[in-house]
Amino acid sequence: MAITHSDFLTQVRNYTEVASNVLTDSQLGIFIRNVELDIAGKVDYDDLRKYATSTYTAGNRAVSLPSDCMILRSVETISSGVRNFLEKRDTSFISEFNTSGTQGTPKYFANYDDFNIIVAPVPAAALTVQINYIKDPPNFTSTNNTFISTYQDSMLLHGVLAEAFRFLKGPMDLYNLYKTKYDEEIQNFALQQMGRRRRAEYDDGVPRLKVASPSPNTIV
| pTM score over 0.95 | no
d(CA 164, CA 62): 43
Give the tens place of pLDDT for each residue, 147-174: 999 999 999 999 999 999 999 998 999 9
Give the tens place of pLDDT for each residue, 24-78: 999 999 999 999 999 999 998 999 999 999 999 999 999 999 999 999 999 999 9
pLDDT class of 92 with cuts at 50, 70, 90: very high
Give the tens place of pLDDT for each residue, 186-216: 999 999 988 876 654 444 443 333 334 344 3
Cβ atoms within 10 A of the Cβ of 62, count? Answer: 14
Instruction: Name, in order, each residue with C-beta under 8 angstroms of 211's C-beta and a sequence gap of 6 or more.
Output: none
Domain coordinates of the chain in residue numbers? 5-45+137-200, 48-135
- Distances, alpha carbon 162 to alpha carbons 14, 15, 114, 167, 218, in Å: 14, 11, 30, 9, 55
